[in-house]
Each structure stands twice: as C-alpha cells, then as structure tokens.
Amino acid sequence: MTTKISDTTNVQMPMKTVISLIALVGMGVYSYFIIQERLNRLETSEQLVKKDLETSVASLKLDIDKNTTFRIDRPQSPAVKEAFMLIEHISGQLEKLTAKVEDRSNNSVNITRLQTDMMEVRSAVEKLKDAQRTLQINGK
C-alpha cells in the first residue's frame, strides 16, 4: 500500500494535540521575542554606559590639560609663594599640637590611675588611724 501525499491529503489528529502544538509553538515564539528584547535592552544599556564613560574621560583629560597649562604658564606671585610658606608653617604647628594632645591623653590615664591609688592610700591610712585609736583606748 502506497501513500500518496498531496495538497489535498487529509490528516486526522485529535484536537487536543493540535491545540497543544499551537500552544507550544506560541510559547516558543513568545520566549524567543522576550529573550531578544532583553538582549536589545542590555546592548543599548552597554552602549550608553560606554558613551558616558568616553565623554567623562574626555572631559577629565581636558580639565587636566587646562589645569596643567594654568599651573605651568602662570607665574607664581610673591603673595602665592607667601601663602604656601604659611600653609607649610601652620601644618608643622598642627603636627606639634597633635603630638601634645596625644601626650596629654596619656597623662589623663596616669592621673586617673593616681587618683584611684590615692583613694586606696586614704582608706588604708584611715584603717591605721582606727587601729591606733583602738590600741590607745585598750591600752589606757
């Protein structure tokens, strides 16, 4: 028995299978377009970030060039030189003051320790005085 397939050949298939095939093809097409859209968004985002980065780098290079040119080409006036000297002097004074403050913070620890020691000594002296008084009273 030979089967001839032509454009007029009838095929019998359950409707459940036909609907399942259509749904499966539909989900596949939908998934493809969702993935394609996500890729397009990511590529667009990447291009925007690259463009922003290139613009920022170019702007920074221009600023650096302007600053370097200004610093080199502009002669320093005596007032500017004096200001730099004052800044260096004040920086030195600040370092000395910082060292003094750190030393004093150590002194406060020592003072606190001495205060507690003195409280202990006072209590010991009071105990000795009480003992002396007790001996004097018992000895009379």
pLDDT in tens, 42-69: 999 999 999 999 999 999 999 988 888 7
How many domains does one find in the chain?
Answer: 2
Residue 84's pLDDT band (cuts 50, 70, 90): confident
Cα separation values, 40 from 27, 35, 45, Å: 20, 9, 9
pLDDT at 122: 94
**Residue 35 belongs to domain spanning:** 15-74
Q: Is the whole model's pTM more than 0.75, yes or no?
A: no
For residue 6, being part of any structural domain is answered with no
Q: Say if residue 98 is in the same domain as residue 138.
A: yes
Count Cα neighbours of 104 within 13 Å in the Cβ-side half-sphere.
Answer: 6
- Please give the residue that has the higher pLDDT: either 14 or 101: 14
Measured between alpha carbons, how far is 66 from 73 in angstroms, rounded to an integer?
Answer: 10
Q: Say if residue 35 is in the same domain as residue 89.
A: no
Q: Say if residue 83 is in the same domain as residue 138.
A: yes
Residues 129, 130, 133, 135: is their CA dihedral positive or negative? negative
pLDDT at 97: 92
Q: Say if residue 111 is in the same domain as residue 66.
A: no
Question: What is the phi/psi pair of residue 7, to 5°?
Answer: -70, -5
